[in-house]
Structure 1
């Protein structure tokens, strides 16, 4: 049994079975800024990297470290670095790796703030950013260059629900540009549904605010990779560039939230499938974007690489005015951005999460101002469907 590999449902509960000196079952919250050394020699050795141990909570904290180890296990990475937000993780990762003169090849459909970082800020540092459709392998083949240092995309694109073939993209990129790091934002899927590192990616990033925490009360992010890459991201991207350090209180809450990740994702995925089928049959809805529907253009990729199809759905109404009317008519669904909470959340990407994008950029990303994004929660799917139905009837009179 010593070589037994635990299933994800067990890993989210137990992690690597750390035992604290007091024997507490729950992870203790080490609410401290600094740590006491036994001697000046020990302090010097730790700062020099010759001895393991905690120095200062910006550089590591026992509560946060336990969380990082568990997330690394879940994603199948050697190490993990926690950040105080998803954008902290993304910017800390990208700015640790890329240099002036490097080429970043990214998908043209991205979370709005990621898109703004890539298109507005990175070029100011002399980093060339090129946006393509990563779900089209021919485009990937045509645009990877010798100086391409990073390829970046989302497991399921926000908000168009496009699914990129992680294995195919990673294999081609590494064959052409071995130094290039394939980086995947796995927020929409979580490691319960997809493990990008096992499919050939080099780095995985998360907004842990979403499914990993799952209760709408924490802002956090993670970056996961092999040990040497994580050392760079921790000592450069976290320590020096962003300072986006996750506090021990937040780490504790995520450790608690992770224990139910498997059961939450199972219930959410099941509910989302029922809601997606309802939307697909509704005469009020023009088009549904959900990778679990056979007519989705990336259905076969999703079926091959995802354990389940996720809890995120996007759908188009007849007009912007009709979409806005639906958002104003829901009663059970919470009109709020974010996703992955116990509550079903509904929002309008074009005017909210992607409001920094121009109309042309929104159209290039594959959606419109008629699109509504839905994060299915843990309510009974029949109640979610009933709420959407009454909203449609009220909005489409």
Structure 2
């Protein structure tokens, strides 16, 4: 099946006696004992099983595990590592997962943060106890691009497992497992959900090996699983994922070009722009450049805040991937220890009419003089 067909027909089961076209929600937490029966909803639930089967198919993996949030999914990987393992992670890593490594796992795991958009930095960061390479491409919020093929090849030479956060690209535009990664991670809250009303996360594996069994054990024993209703909503939302992503990417490309030519913008970070330092790598491993961009406003942080407050159709809010456009000054959200420039604005481009989005942005720039 092609992606669009798979997104609509994958995973769901038509159950007796009514053979409903849309799989019903199974709210029961427990199941009657019989041969091959489910036992308890924390371990397995029909809606979560359908979602996980669908996610594995979309990312071209062998199995998937759905979690209550993207952070819970990422944490499951860290929890599955042996005590004292060393991790190489991007310096421009999503701050929620970076906070886990710095605060929650500081006495359990070692980590080196480095700029993985330059593969030579990986070679310098590898240590004898390095067990995991974490890739995030495009990265959040600087939209850096890492060469998945090259990095995974380097990591495998030292028997290092590779995880790729594919949240920004989604399997519509990028398949890290086919590029050499062992695991793919998603914040399903974002584009999979697509409507800013579901909290969820997912991991997809290339092979169902012993490490994967450890992750599934963390999921089921730890219990940070999605509710049946959230699984149902995600399966429903994924049916339109391919078409939504094309709209997001088309709009983002046009707005990035507009901002790149604007006299009040210092710099635009979007891999679809030919001037982006990672454009050629992105073009080699992605079929589209996604719906997220960041840009630096010329001036002070206060000017960025004023621009944001003058917008009508862009909501000043955290998160991304919904049908509505969201915007924020990212450093203000990440806190005092952030390395993100104070005048950087991150924009999740929605599916409103492009003319309205461009006109709104143009008018807002007048507010900062």
Counterpart residue number, 2:125: 143
Over the aligned positions, Cα root-mean-square deviation in angstroms equals 1.2
Instruction: Map 1:22-61 to 2 at 5 A.
Output: 22-38=18-34, 42=35, 52-61=36-45
Counterpart residue number, 2:96: 113
Runs of 4+ in 1 over 3 A off after TM superposition: none
Give 1:20's match in structure 2, choosing from 15, 25, 28: 15
Counterpart residue number, 1:382: 355
Counterpart residue number, 1:263: 243
Render the CA deviation track for 1:54-112: whole Å, top value 9, x for unaligned. Answer: 1111101001100100000000110000001110111112212x122211111111111
Indicate how the Cα distance of structure 1 residues 162 and 280 shifts in structure 2: closer, same or farther if over 3 A, else same: same
Number of residue pairs matched by the alignment: 365
Render the CA deviation track for 1:208-259: whole Å, top value 9, x for unaligned. Answer: 0000110111000001102224332111x21234x21100000000011000
Q: CA deviation at 1:327?
A: 1.2
Counterpart residue number, 1:3: none
Q: Is the 8 A contact 2:330 2:344 kept in 1?
A: yes
Render the CA deviation track for 1:358-391: whole Å, top value 9, x for unaligned. Answer: 15xx1xxxx3010000000111112111111111
Tell me the distance in 1 between the aligned counterparts of 2:351 and 2:320. Answer: 12
Q: CA deviation at 1:138?
A: 0.8
Q: CA deviation at 1:120?
A: 1.6
Q: Is the 8 A contact 1:80 1:230 kept in 2?
A: no
Q: CA deviation at 1:199?
A: 0.3
Structure 1, gaps ≥5 residues long: 1-5, 43-51
Counterpart residue number, 1:273: 253
Q: Is the 8 A contact 1:132 1:139 kept in 2?
A: yes
Counterpart residue number, 1:48: none
TM-score of the superposition, structure 1-length normalised? 0.90
Q: Is the 8 A contact 1:90 1:205 kept in 2?
A: yes
Q: Secondary structure at the match of 1:158?
A: coil
Tell me the distance in 1 between the aligned counterparts of 2:212 and 2:15. Answer: 25
Q: Report the more deviating stretch, 222-231 or 373-382.
A: 222-231
Give 2:50's match in structure 1, choosing from 54, 66, 90: 66
Q: Secondary structure at the match of 2:173?
A: coil
Tell me the distance in 2 between the aligned counterparts of 1:373 and 1:33. Answer: 40
Are residue 208 (structure 1) and residue 192 (structure 2) matched?
Answer: no
Tell me the distance in 2 between the aligned counterparts of 1:269 and 1:104. Answer: 32
TM-score of the superposition, structure 2-length normalised? 0.96
Q: Is the 8 A contact 1:81 1:230 kept in 2?
A: no
Render the CA deviation track for 1:288-323: whole Å, top value 9, x for unaligned. Answer: 000000110100011111110000010001221110
Q: Is the 8 A contact 1:224 1:230 kept in 2?
A: no
